[in-house]
Structure 1
Amino acid sequence: MVQTIFSDTIVALSTPPGAGALAVIRLSGPDAVAITAGIFSKKKLAEQPGHTLHYGTLRDPNSEAILDEVVVALYRAPRSFTREDVVEISCHGSDYVVRQVLAVLLRQGARLAEAGEFTKRAFLHGAMDLAQAEAVADLIAADSALSHRVALNQLRGGFSQELRELRARLVQFASLLELELDFGEEDVEFADRSGLARLLDEVRGVVADLLRSFELGNVIKNGITTVIAGRPNAGKSTLLNALLREERAIVSAIPGTTRDFIEDEVSLDGIRFRFVDTAGLRDNPADEVEAIGVQRTRQRVQQAALLLYLFDLAEMSPAEVQAEVAELTAGLQLPVLAVGNKRDRASASQLAAFGQPLALSGTLQLPVLLSAARKEGLEELQAALLGQVRGAGLEANASATIVTNVRHARALEAAAGYLAAVQQGLDLGLGTELLAADLRHALAALGEITGEISTDDLLTSIFTQFCIGK
């Protein structure tokens, strides 16, 4: 039996605000059932078992006016999301009805929940660790198959289990080092230094792998930033509109129409792409504004996860495409996809010239040839985009642990630094006190991820990013 640590009962709307068929109002706390029973007809809720549904009406005790016909779901502690008594009221999704029901529940003794407070109570009652709690927010925000899969894996404890195993192995050695400190005057060693070195090497490798996965995790969470770059009037805005299937960008035959970047998202086969339409690249911009746009294009290319270089088939040769891509990506390890546009206007010889692979960013690849204006060749482009993602390793393995949270990445970086210090201490033959101190810091950094070590400020920072009803 889980002992509740809160004496008050909270309430909030758990479905999105606005008119709809249904709205769900959630209460959690020791008086959740009693407060609901005070306005609910038909049955004595206090006598009903958990995990049951009850149909009835809600009444305002002051006026006896009927507020709505509802279905009430009961969850008894500890078999609930928060490990407290929880009531979920499914009413009609009218803003007026929701306001009236909430007002009556507040008068009956509940208080409005703070952002993320339901999940915070679940964490504090031990229903989940901190990494799993954060995965709740990620799962709600997931808008692609990949982000959903990664958030669900973290919610089910995959990442947390890996961290617990790491900490457990380090704690064993840390306890032996602490024991040495207790017997410092006797000059004895309980912790085998060679065994600790082997463990450090293994643990540092796992932490390094997790840190490397953050690049992929960031892509999954925020989308694959795909910059569409090329010369003015190559058809970049037309292509963006075709991919989005809406008139998002202004299209004109006048070169240099796009002065700043335009950004929007598309999900392809469950992978989210964030397409960025940029100002055309040319050496002599028409004015200062266009020059700033060209500069911003180059900056966006440096921040991209994938470059889609678009060129006019009738205006450029293979050698020019290769040269411009090389200049644009100089010093960058950036996947590139070359796309030839306006194939409907190109001659047979121009099409044939691009029938051979191009040397782009260290690889040989056939350019995709299409007509953005006629929306011809878009399926081939989408297939090529997915191929680039998979070839660059930007797709998640179904069973892999992927770090998607900036806080987790920072904690792992701190842990890696302290583990490196422990390794350096071993190499230099430093004393037990210094080794034990660095190992304690490494354990604390790993513990911050799952909440085994946490502060009120940390919890406030995390849970205020949640929606109110969660």
Structure 2
Amino acid sequence: MKVLSGFDDTIAAIATPPGIGAIGVIRLSGRAAIPVADAIFKGKKLEKQPSHTVHFGHIIAPEDGTLIDEVVVTLFRSPRSYTGEDVVEISGHGSPYILQKILEAAVSAGARLATAGEYTQRAFLNGKLDLAQAEAVADLIAADSRAQQQAALQQLRGGFSGDLAKLREQLINFAALIELELDFSDEDVEFADRAQFSALITDLKSQVSTLLDSFRLGNVIKNGVRVAIIGKPNSGKSTLLNALLNEERAIVSDIAGTTRDTIEETLNIKGVLFRLIDTAGIREHTTDQIESIGMERSKQNAEKATILLHLVDVTDPDTSEIGWLKPFAEKTILVKNKIDREDSHQLSAGSDRISNPQPPILISAKNNLGIEVLRNRMYEKAVGEVIQPENSIVTNARHYDALSKMMESLNSIEAGMDRQLTGDLLSIDIRRTLHYLGEITGQVEVDRDILGTIFGKFCIGK
């Protein structure tokens, strides 16, 4: 891989989040990281200290020697650091003013301000991480659920990259034999066993197909699951939202049409985030303009949702369905509410559906009956299985696109072998497959703009 120029200077940034805290960290990285730190640090001479040591001292302004803070400095010498360069981390008191003054002192001493993601980009360019692992760093920082954390950790620890490396090694071995045949084309010899190569392509397609199929689950893990609660006015949608969240989030009233606008909240079920949307009640006719707008938004949210909870009041004698929900049957969970009521006469009317593979969920949102069963059904519908953290799961759209193109190339190789194409024609598609595989991990030359897009999503300081 070609290393891009422009990364031979020393950078500095505040690595901890904005705001007041007990401790804040300023990170330096680059050839002059240690001399820059020595210029503003009064304590032991860092240039003379071994790697992975911690030192107490003071930070002073290089211009006039003014005391800025008492700090602890941690030293990491190249190549045993996150970036592969000399790295110095200055831990000071978490005042935004103090941290800014330390940063200004480092810049005055010869460092420059780091750009977003520049530390991780340097780690990638210096071979400490491949590109897929670097992207996992951003996912790990952004993780706000156990499933997101586990998927990012698996990728960061090289699980996904390891799977891709095995695919790449198998392809390269046969590609080398095919290329060798081209050198002896005049002698009409075959070094690559075509039957064995055909079996390999079938196996590779199966592995890539598994990774592609995992993207549905990966998308759920990374972005969460949009769940719209749909039903007629006063069917108990807001009560259901409160019951699922186990808190009083939405206003509950016996007056139909209380909810005029959508309310969004987040629910964590078994490590997966569900983004609940309590929508305005939907009925066939209304003269209230505000209610009409709310109903229209309900329809829009139903279209965008991954799961629909169609809430039905079992005490309502009107058994007519909401007609426009029919196209969404595949993603709908029918939920029958108010089963605790003595007048729940409609419950028996729906008993013929209970024997179906996907029967309605019977609940009393008010009394918290059946809520755990509903949570389990939502998880099952969104995820389909228990998430195995040791399995490689594709969560990145860029990876999915490259794997899709790789599958197309594998199909072309397979078709070419069926037509008994010569090695020189097969090698074109083999190289193309290897290119798309290398795009994911950065084992081919990566365009500067692509890197800028990837690392620009990071926070400054990472």
Q: Same fold (TM over 0.5)?
A: yes
Judging changes above 3 Å, is the alpha-carbon distance between structure 1 residues 382 and 89 closer, same or farther for their aligned structure 2 residues?
farther
Q: Residues 418 and 268 of structure 1: is their aligned pair in 2 closer, same or farther, counting only changes over 3 Å?
A: same
Q: 1:423 aligns with which of 377, 391, 414?
A: 414
- Give the letter for the 1:111 counterpart: R
Which residue in 2 is equivalent to 1:127? Answer: 128
Question: Which digits, 9 at most, give the CA deviation of each residue in 1:374-400, with x for residues without a partner?
Answer: xx317x414431344236515411321
Q: Are the structure 2 counterparts of residues 292 and 99 from structure 1 closer, same or farther at C-alpha, using a change threshold of 3 Å?
A: same
Whether 2:38 is the aligned partner of 1:37: answer yes
Q: Tell me if structure 2 keeps the 8 A contact 1:268–1:382.
A: no
Q: Matches of 1:212 and 1:325 in 2, distance apart?
A: 33
- Answer yes or no: is 1:353 the counterpart of 2:353: no
| Alpha-carbon distance in 2 for matches of 1:333, 1:180 | 52
Aligned 8 A contact 1:358 1:367 in 2: no
Q: Distance in 2 between matches of 1:92 and 1:422?
A: 60
Report the equivalent of 2:365: 371
> Is the contact between residue 237 and residue 250 of structure 1 (CA under 8 Å) also seen in structure 2?
yes
Q: Secondary structure at the match of 2:345?
A: helix
SS at match of 1:38: helix
The Cα of 1:172 is off from its aligned counterpart by: 1.4
Tell me, yes or no, if the aligned pair for 2:33 and 2:88 is still in contact at 8 Å.
yes
Structure 1: gaps (5+ residues): none
Matches for 1:391-402 after TM superposition, within 5 Å:
393=384, 395-402=386-393
Query: Residue in 2 aligned with 1:55?
Result: 56
Contact 2:241/2:249, CA 8 A, preserved across alignment: yes
Distance of 2:64 and 2:8 partners within structure 1: 29
Q: Matched residues in 2 for 1:449 and 1:123: separation?
A: 13
**Secondary structure of residue in 1 paired with 2:31:** coil
Written as runs of structure 1 = structure 2, the 5 A alignment for 1:292-331 is: 293-294=294-295, 296-315=297-316, 320=319, 324=321, 328-330=325-327
Q: Does 1:462 align with 2:454?
A: yes
Instruction: Mark the CA change 1:189 to 1:351 in structure 2 (over 3 Å): closer, same or farther.
Output: same
Deviation at 1:402, TM superposition (A): 0.6
Q: Which residue of 1 aligns with 2:376?
A: 386
Query: 3-state DSSP class of the match of 2:268?
Result: strand
Q: Does 1:336 align with 2:337?
A: no
- 1:26 touches 1:89 (CA, 8 Å); kept in 2? yes
Cα distance in 1 for partners of 2:324, 2:431 equals 48
* Unaligned stretches of 5+ residues in structure 2: none
Following superposition, the deviation at residue 417 of structure 1 comes to 0.9
1:19-55 alpha-carbon deviations (Å, 9 max, x no partner): 1111111111111111111111121111111111111
Q: Separation in 2 of the partners of 1:348 and 1:259?
A: 27
Following the alignment from structure 2 to structure 1, what is the Cα–Cα distance between the partners of residues 407 and 353?
A: 41
Q: Post-superposition shift, 1:430? A: 2.8
Q: Distance in 1 between matches of 2:52 and 2:145?
A: 31
Contact 1:302 1:332 in 2 (8 A): no
Change (3 A) 1:325 1:434: farther
Structure 1: how far apart are the matches of 2:201 and 2:97? 60
Matched with 1:184 is 185
Paired residue secondary structure (1:401):
coil
Relative to structure 1, is the Cα distance of residues 325 and 161 closer, same or farther in structure 2, using a 3 angstrom cutoff?
farther
Cα deviation for residue 428 of structure 1 reads: 2.3
Cα deviation for residue 458 of structure 1 reads: 1.5
Q: CA RMSD in A?
A: 2.8
The 1-side partners of 2:68 and 2:182 are apart by 68
Find the residue that maps to 1:233 and give its secondary structure.
coil
1:333 is paired with a residue whose SS is helix
The one-letter amino acid paired with 2:81 is S
Tell whether the 8 Å contact from 2:12 to 2:112 is kept in structure 1 after alignment.
Answer: yes
Decide whether aligned partners of structure 1 residues 352 and 144 sit closer, same or farther in structure 2, where only a CA change above 3 A counts.
same
2:395 aligned partner? 404
Partners of 2:151 and 2:54 in 1: CA distance = 32
Please report how far the alpha carbon of residue 299 of structure 1 lies from its aligned counterpart in structure 2 after TM superposition: 4.7
| CA positional deviation for 1:166 | 0.6
The CA distance in 2 between the partners of 1:46 and 1:404, in whole Å, is 43
- Contact 2:52/2:75, CA 8 A, preserved across alignment: yes
Cα distance change of structure 1 residues 440 and 299 upon mapping to structure 2, 3 Å threshold? farther
**Who is 1:234 aligned against?**
235
3-state SS, counterpart of residue 50 of structure 1? coil
Q: What CA distance in whole angstroms lies between the structure 2 residues aligned with 1:12 and 1:288? A: 52
The one-letter code of the counterpart of 1:368 is L
**Distance across 2 between alignment mates of 1:28 and 1:393:** 44
Deviation at 1:365, TM superposition (A): 3.1
Q: CA deviation at 1:248?
A: 5.1
Cα shift at 1:181: 2.8
C-alpha separation in 1, matches of 2:282 and 2:202? 48
Instruction: Compute the TM-score of the two structures, normalised by the length of structure 2.
Output: 0.90
Whether 2:446 is the aligned partner of 1:452: answer no
**Most deviating of 141-150 and 41-50:** 41-50
The amino acid of 1:148's aligned partner reads Q
Provide the aligned length of Structure 1 versus Structure 2: 457
Once residues 277 and 154 of structure 1 are traced to their aligned partners in structure 2, the CA distance between those partners, rounded to angstroms, is: 35
- The offset of 1:404, in angstroms, is 0.5
After alignment, is 346-355 or 130-139 more displaced?
Answer: 346-355
What's the CA shift for 1:363?
Answer: 2.1
CA distance in 2, matches of 1:462, 1:305: 27
SS at structure 1 position matched to 2:331? coil
2: CA distance between counterparts of 1:213 and 1:316? 44
Residue 410 of structure 1 deviates from its aligned partner by 0.6
Does 1 or 2 have the higher relative contact order (CA < 8 Å, sep 6+)?
2
CA deviation profile, 1:285-304 (whole Å, cap 9, x unmatched): 54676556545544543443
Verify the 8 A CA contact 2:244 2:375 in the aligned structure 1: no
Mapped partners of 1:326, 1:433: distance in 2: 59
* 1:357 and 1:365 in contact (8 A); partners too: no
8 Å Cα contact 1:4/1:83 also seen in 2 = no
Question: Are the structure 2 counterparts of residues 99 and 10 from structure 1 closer, same or farther at C-alpha, using a change threshold of 3 Å?
Answer: same
TM-aligned CA distance change 1:74 to 1:383, over 3 Å: farther
Contact 2:116 2:458 in 1 (8 A): yes
CA distance in 1, matches of 2:79, 2:301: 50
Q: Determine the C-alpha separation between the residues in 1 that align with 2:203 and 2:436.
A: 17
Q: Is the CA contact 2:243–2:371 (under 8 Å) kept in the aligned structure 1?
A: no
Aligned AA (1:371): A
Q: 1:85/1:65 Cα in 2 relative to 1: closer, same or farther (>3 Å)?
A: same
Quote the offset at 1:357 in angstroms: 7.5
